[in-house]
Structure 1
Amino acid sequence: MTAARFELPHPMPTRLLTVAEYAALGETEFGYTELLEGRLLMSPSPGLAHNDAMGELFVAIKSALPTGFGVTQDLDLDLEINPPDQPGFVRRPDLIVFHAEARQRIREQGGLLRASDAVLVVEIVSPSSKRTDYHDKRGDYAEAGVPYYWVVDLEPPVSLLACHEAGEFGYADDGEFTGIFRSTQPFPFEFDLDTLV
């Protein structure tokens, strides 16, 4: 299936977009988009090191997942922060671990993966995204109720900040790891972070 080519509306939308209106825009050739409170945010595509790391983590996570879960790369996630008829919030995490039954719903009904489908989101820090990944997205994913959030920073030494949902306080940190990362939540996982560079 070929994705539709994204053309920026001329002029740009003068009103805030819902998640459905955002999804109807399609794909871009020159980067990726997110939706923040109805406003379209454009970002450049990530570089080679970022994509290599994302691929390595995808393979490792996929091989560790228990039955009933899936993982995908670089896909829109409806944060479900506002009602469907209100300005929407859509982020595009580098990796999303989700409940596998979401696939069937999307096949039958269309739409995006939802925050309520997600178990874990992973962001890999790019030079231009450090504050966004450590602060802004952390707040967005916590508000959306995503149970686990990992931030991978490729600057030597490669590190992974693991966070878990902590109720009204947002996320609590489980620690920042270098070398071998081991976790039992949200599934048993062990990975040598040094292989990412």
Structure 2
Amino acid sequence: MVATQPRKLTFAEYLAYEDDTDRRYELIDGELVALPPESGINDWIAQELFWVLAIAQLAPRQLIRPHTCELQVPVLQSGDAANRYPDLVVLRQEHWELTQKRLTITLEMPPPRLVVEVVSPGKTSRERDYQRKRAQYEATGIPEYWIVDTQQEQITVLCLEEGRYIEETILSPTFGELKLTARQIFDSGLS
């Protein structure tokens, strides 16, 4: 008996794939990997951020997408997914027309304005959000990436400058009114 290897899907084949379910998949090394449902805390934080951004009118509500927007991302190392489903995405106005058939932002499209990931518990999730997704979002050219870490009770705000993410906002639980960026600290020593 000869064992056959399953055929690996291209990203275009993945986009055309239908299994008549509402499952979400990541495409990893050409194979479909089903994603688990969102955790309650991740969903709650994404919904809260949606309402904060919408009420502040920082973007039209239809461009703020919790859990539903898929991003094609470059595969930078073996085991990387070719697509991600961030916890929250803020799209650009031009995405509205580009995503009428499928809410997928491909590499040929302009990157979204903001991507937010809520770190799930566990070492694998931390590594994925802090390192692998960070590198993929940076390579995609997403101007701002927030990492919401419920275990550490911190939000890391990364801004793209000259093709690299730099950490911007410092959040202090002791001095909540403090509004300070890493750039302000580093620039103050240069004057």
Using the size of structure 2 for normalisation, the TM-score is 0.70
Task: Name the CA shift for 1:58/1:111 in 2 (closer, same or farther; >3 Å).
Answer: closer
2:168 is equivalent to residue 174 of structure 1 = yes
2:156 is equivalent to residue 161 of structure 1 = yes
Alignment partner, residue 133 of structure 1 = 129
Task: Name the CA shift for 1:111/1:59 in 2 (closer, same or farther; >3 Å).
Answer: closer
Higher strand share: 1
Cα offsets for 1:58-109 (capped at 9, x unmatched): 1112223146982101121123x48xxxxx82111111111122111222x6
Say how many residue pairs are matched. 163
User: Which of the pair has more CA radius of gyration?
Assistant: 2
Write the letter of the residue equivalent to 2:112: A
Q: How does 1:65-80 map to 2 (within 5 A)?
A: 65-66=58-59, 70-74=63-67, 75-79=69-73
Gaps of 5+ in 1: 1-10, 83-87, 184-197
Give the root-mean-square deviation of aligned CA atoms: 3.2
Equivalent residues of 1:23, 1:111 under 8 A apart: no
Alignment partner, residue 104 of structure 1 = 97
Cα offsets for 1:156-176 (capped at 9, x unmatched): 5x21000011334x3111145
Q: How does 1:1-197 map to 2 (within 5 A)?
A: 13-15=6-8, 17-26=9-18, 32-36=24-28, 38-64=30-56, 65-66=58-59, 70-74=63-67, 75-79=69-73, 81=74, 89-107=82-100, 110=102, 112-114=104-106, 116-128=110-122, 129-155=125-151, 158-168=153-163, 170-179=164-173
Equivalent residues of 1:146, 1:165 under 8 A apart: yes
Equivalent residues of 2:111, 2:140 under 8 A apart: no
Q: Structure 2: how far apart are the matches of 1:23 and 1:182?
A: 45
Gaps of 5+ in 2: 76-80, 180-191
SS at match of 1:155: coil
SS at match of 1:118: coil
